Structure 1
Amino acid sequence: MTKIRSTTVLAILHKGEVAIGADGQATMGNTVAKSNVKKIRKLQDGKIVLGFAGSTADAFTLMERFDEKLGTYTGNMKRAAIELAKDWRTDRYLRRLEAMMIVADKEEILVISGTGDVLEPDNGIAAIGSGSMYAQSAATALKKHADHLSAKELVEESLHIAADICIYTNHNLVLETL
């Protein structure tokens, strides 16, 4: 499995709200190429939100395929994710794509990878990218001890903590909620 570096994407389901956010840093090797990349997109007229990590061209190819699957399966996010993961794993062209995605609707969060995985986190927290473990750790602690925060506030604070630690993550955040 390819290790996806150079970004952090975090999604949290909390108090009936889903929030997803990502930093804006794009790197080429050890150099910051751009600091305000938008790695979060809304699909299906804003009913589904998607965040990606990895190669931008690869991520956009997968996002387009996922959107097609959503159309085929009348907006059923889980079914579309499973069908995309099947294609991603078995198709010669797709197999070479280096990216990961988090997709979310109002009820659930899923992580989709090129290894054929479609994972729904047990605790309502999903993270991908180089700073994912920092963001996920921060989110887990904050969600447990800061019940007064909204899902969006949890994502924002957790991403800022990750950006303080991970050199491939910056503080230029894009956040979306459902």
Structure 2
Amino acid sequence: MAEDKFPGWHGTTILAVRRGGEVVVAGDGQVSLGQTVIKGSARKVRRLSPGGRDVVVGFAGSTADAFTLLERLEKKLEAQPGQLARGCVELAKDWRMDKYLRNLEAMLIVTDGTELFVITGAGDVLEPENDIAAIGSGGNFALAAARGLMETGLDAEAIARKAMAIAADICVYTNGRLTVERISA
């Protein structure tokens, strides 16, 4: 994200953990402008139901931009029910090529409980390794913590919650007010 376009917005950590036939997506609630917390209870993890099939999406970046992308993704998935990968690729193509969309500043984690993707405005649709995906200001902290916790016997939600707590202790743009969504394969 180009820092010159952004007015100093920070404040998201989104983490997805796949384990035991389910995926848990957790997001913190903090939104900051510069060094000021302007909201502590934002909901950055959403459940969509395009075509009657649940999909969980977590977003980092500009909220308005993310909502625009969520609406686009939902339309793609309604047009291609049950084809999450294809819908994500179509969204990424539009995002990269469309004159309006290419200026959107956000990232998405998307899952239907079986597949798990990170989508970026650079045209990337990435399937993360190690059954963990993380984005946002504290994403690398949460990712590292979750990777270490995958070696324990904890379930996906416990790993996500502990990793998010670790990220919140390290990243000043992340808080402990979580939104957590579970989805099974």
Q: Is the 8 A contact 1:13 1:108 kept in 2?
A: no
Alignment of 1:61-80 (within 5 A): 61-80=68-87
TM-score (norm 2): 0.92
Q: Which residue of 2 aligns with 1:158?
A: 163
Q: Which residue of 2 aligns with 1:33?
A: 38
Q: Which amino acid aligns with 1:126?
A: A
**Following the alignment from structure 2 to structure 1, what is the Cα–Cα distance between the partners of residues 177 and 2?**
25
Alignment of 1:133-144 (within 5 A): 133-144=140-151
**Following the alignment from structure 1 to structure 2, what is the Cα–Cα distance between the partners of residues 125 and 176?**
15
Match of 1:173 among 172, 178, 181: 178
Does residue 15 (structure 1) correspond to residue 20 (structure 2)? The answer is yes
TM-score (norm 1): 0.95
Q: Which amino acid aligns with 2:35?
A: N
Deviation at 1:77, TM superposition (A): 0.9
Alignment of 1:108-119 (within 5 A): 108-119=115-126
Q: Which residue of 1 aligns with 2:97?
A: 90
- SS of the residue corresponding to residue 162 of structure 2 reads helix
CA RMSD of aligned residues (A): 1.3
**Following the alignment from structure 1 to structure 2, what is the Cα–Cα distance between the partners of residues 151 and 77?**
21
**Following the alignment from structure 1 to structure 2, what is the Cα–Cα distance between the partners of residues 176 and 122?**
20
Q: Which runs of 5+ in 2 are unaligned?
A: 4-8
Deviation at 1:5, TM superposition (A): 3.7
**Following the alignment from structure 2 to structure 1, what is the Cα–Cα distance between the partners of residues 35 and 79?**
40
Deviation at 1:17, TM superposition (A): 1.1
Between the two proteins, the alignment pairs up a number of residues equal to 176
- Residues 85-125 of structure 1 show CA distances to partners (whole Å, capped at 9, x for unaligned) of 00000001000000000001121210000000000012110
Deviation at 1:74, TM superposition (A): 1.3
Q: Which runs of 5+ in 1 are unaligned?
A: none
Deviation at 1:75, TM superposition (A): 3.4
Q: Which amino acid aligns with 2:128?
A: P
- Residues 113-152 of structure 1 show CA distances to partners (whole Å, capped at 9, x for unaligned) of 00000000121100000100000000000002x12x1101
Q: Which residue of 2 aligns with 1:81?
A: 88
